[in-house]
A and B are shown apart, each in its own frame.
Chain A
Amino acid sequence: MAKKTQKGSPMDRVLKAIAYSKPDKVPIIFFPEWDFLADFAGVKVKKFLNDVALQIETNERFRNRFPEVYCAVSVYQPYAQAQAYGCPLSDPEDEIPMVAKNVINTPGEVDSLKVPDPWDAPGTRDWLEKIQYQIDSGFEAAGMGDFGPFEVAGQLYKYDRLIRDMRKHPQIVHTLLEKCNEFIVKFLSEWAKLLGGKATVTLIADHISGFMNKRLIEEFFAPYHTKLVEQLKPYSSIMFYHSENRSYHIIDQIGKWGYNMFHGMEWAPGGDLRKTKEIVSGLGPHRYALVGQVPGRDILLREPSDEIVRQKIIENIQIYAPGSGYILSTGGGINRGTPIRRLDMMVELVNQYGRYKTKKVLYKPDEV
């Protein structure tokens, strides 16, 4: 069973935001990228990814550095599912590895593709072993998660071919997605077993929705994500969808697929941030919590002026926090090189502008 959450903890705030009830202040989630964490640990990325004890120690240190924040950190195995299917990865010294080669070369190979046993395949087995090690070492991970069916399908089949074949060979794409879904459920259910049967949160990262028009979303994306969420619900209390791609065309859909939270980018129709809040809050039983979206790269990392960063954070709090259903975060992960002072700024500005009940605040989100 998922563990009971301590009242007033970062996770407790997140749960309240999901339920559209008001925590004491706007919750914050940090998603540090693994190259960011390697820098935080003071080692090269390759060393970081190969050293599970160092990952745990660094994650602990990062979490302790931001006690007010729900830090989405856990041990990591890059592209575990693709590895399990036999995809080789690149082997850079100081970057996150990538899938170096797809394994399905012709549409016909999809039919014969075997769904691996996650304990019996490289990648997923390595990751499960790392998770076991993490549990044994006493570190309580943030939850579980991995890529969604389209992302895995793109890694196995090549992204451009996957998109082209939604037109040319739709049945092949459906078969592939079916197999990808099956493996994700197998893998994450094994992960959940290690956590005692159920995770608090499960994150599914699938950025391909940003390449697809509404018709394709309806035909391909929605059915597989709906099914995936349904099958993972016994293993996870909260389902969390993540996409670092255009997402304004799906903001009215994500809740219907069964997700409780969405961490996204480019989610405002016509650039109108308020519209997003209005649409998502008005989805009735399908409403979900928005997580974001202070631009990680263009603002937190690259913007030279701290004042502009500050304004952007305040803008996010002011637009999205009223009425709850909002968790402050970066849009996308925390990029390598992002100054720590800007992460501190997010915490400080929530204390200053994002309290729901205290009278001594400059701005009360629930009064807007």
Chain B
Amino acid sequence: MSEELVNAMLEVDEEKIFTLVENQLKTRDPMAILEDLKEGLAKVGTLFEKEEYFLSDLVFAAEIFKEVMKKLEPFFPKKEGEVKGTIVMGTVEGDFHDIGKNIMADLLRFNGYIVEDLGVDVAPETFLEAVQKTQPDVLGLTGLLTAAFAPMKKTIDLIRKNYSNKLIIAVGGAPINEKWIRDVGADFGANNASVGIKLINEAIKKKNQRK
């Protein structure tokens, strides 16, 4: 781990972040760099929740992260061959946080999925329209706030009722735990991106085996 990089992200020090990433790419595993950036970003989120950081810090950190991801993207080996699956995802209604969702979407793309990202503050009806149109393998719902529970449940209920109760629905975000997953009616969920990827990979594998 590069503590310097984690701290540069924590301090939202743009210049330092880009210099460090540039230098570290010569010697370090890009995935390890990504992990450090994620850790720094998570710390920014924690300080925001503690009201030590302001919205501008959170927004700037997320923007810098997105830009660094673009630099890292060519270093992640894309799986050759056919597409693993299609994912429709978005942050649920009333929640405007997109950092976790964007990280997840990027990682899914690196892992060979086609991702349709609906953005933030997405209404249940918009999710329904999107799954009807795209017919994805997985629907991913994210939310950072505990207030995301009700719209997440509402969205899942609407999809189950009006589209299919067999669609794999995954939920993600900081407040997600087993009880949350059960109560909203999702198939599975995770509060960090690497676990999320693993679970989606497994679910798609199982789905393909059933075919």
Contacts and interface: CB of A to CB of B under 8 A. Distances in A.
Interface residues of B, number: 11
B63 interface: yes
A163 B57 contact: no
Contact of B54 (A164, A167, A168, A213): A213
Interface string B39-79: 00000000000010111110110010000000000000000
B56 A216 contact: yes
Contacts of B55: 163, 211-212
B55 to A, nearest CB: 4
Nearest to A167: B60
A216 B53 CA distance: 12
A196 B89 CA distance: 58
A246 interface: yes
A328 B111 CA distance: 59
A164 B67 CA distance: 13
Contacts of A249: 54
Interface in B17-58: 51, 53-57
B63 A211 contact: no
B51 A213 contact: no
A160 B57 CA distance: 12
B63 A213 contact: no
Interface centre among B56, B60, B63 (most CB of A within 10 A): B56
A246 B51 contact: yes
A166 interface: yes
A316 to B, nearest CB: 21
A160 B58 CA distance: 11
B56 A213 contact: yes
Interface residues of A, number: 13
Interface string A161-174: 00110111000000
Interface SS of A by simple majority: helix
A216 B12 CA distance: 13
A163 B59 contact: yes
Interface string B172-190: 0000000000000000000
A147 B199 CA distance: 48
Interface in B73-111: 96
Nearest to A271: B51
B150 to A, nearest CB: 19
Contacts of A164: 59-60, 63
A174 to B, nearest CB: 16
Contacts of B51: 246
Interface in A196-249: 210-213, 216, 246, 249
A48 to B, nearest CB: 28
Contacts of B54: 210-213, 216, 246, 249
Interface in A234-290: 246, 249
B43 to A, nearest CB: 15
B63 A212 contact: no
A167 B53 contact: no
Q: Which of B53, B55, B63 counts the most chain A CB atoms within 10 A?
A: B55
A211 B60 CA distance: 12
Nearest to B60: A167
A159 to B, nearest CB: 9
A166 B55 CA distance: 12
B63 A167 contact: yes
B63 A166 contact: no
Interface in A118-172: 160, 163-164, 166-168
Contacts of A166: 56
Name the residue among B14, B53, B63, B96 with the largest chain A CB count within 10 angstroms.
B63
23 contacts: A160-B59, A160-B96, A163-B55, A163-B56, A163-B59, A164-B59, A164-B60, A164-B63, A166-B56, A167-B60, A167-B63, A168-B63, A210-B54, A211-B54, A211-B55, A212-B54, A212-B56, A213-B53, A213-B54, A213-B56, A213-B57, A216-B54, A246-B54
Given A164-B63, A213-B57, 6 more contacts: A160-B96, A163-B56, A164-B60, A213-B54, A216-B56, A246-B51
